[in-house]
Amino acid sequence: MLKVGIITASDKGARGEREDVSGKTIEAMLSGLGEVRHYVVVPDDQAVLRQAMLHMADELDLEVVFTTGGTGLGPRDVTPEATLSVIQRAVPGIAEAMRARSMEVTSRAMLSRAVAGVRNRTLIVNLPGSPKAVQECLEVVLPVLEHGINILRGRDGECARH
**Between helices 92-103 and 131-152, what is the axis angle to 10°?**
150
- Distances in whole angstroms, Cα of residue 35 to Cα of each of 5, 23, 68, 140, 160: 9, 13, 17, 19, 27
Please tell me the predicted confidence (pLDDT) of residue 156: 77
HSE-up of 100 (CA within 13 Å, CB side)? 8
Spatial separation of the C-alpha atoms in residues 18 and 25, rounded to whole Å: 15
Question: Does the pLDDT value for residue 78 go beyond 70?
Answer: yes
What value, to the nearest 5°, has the Cα angle with vertex 109 and ends 18 and 6?
A: 45
Q: What percent of the chain has pLDDT over 90?
A: 95
pLDDT tens per residue, range 82-101? 999 999 999 999 999 999 99
With 90 as the cut, is the pLDDT of residue 72 above it?
yes
What's the CA gap between 33 and 23, in Å, rounded? 16
Instruction: Answer yes or no: is pLDDT of 45 > 90.
Output: yes
Confidence (pLDDT) at 66:
98
- Spatial separation of the C-alpha atoms in residues 34 and 146, rounded to whole Å: 9
pLDDT at residue 159 tops 70: no
Give me the mean pLDDT over the 20-26 stretch.
98
Strands of 10-160, DSSP E: 34-42, 64-68, 89-90, 116-119, 122-127
State pTM to two decimals: 0.95
The DSSP symbol for 57 reads I
Within its chain, how far is the Cα of 2 from the centroid?
14
pLDDT level of residue 160 (50, 70, 90 thresholds): low
The class (CATH top level) of 2-151 is alpha beta
Residue 162 has pLDDT above 80, yes or no: no
- Please, are residues 6 and 26 in contact by the beta-carbon 8 Å criterion? yes
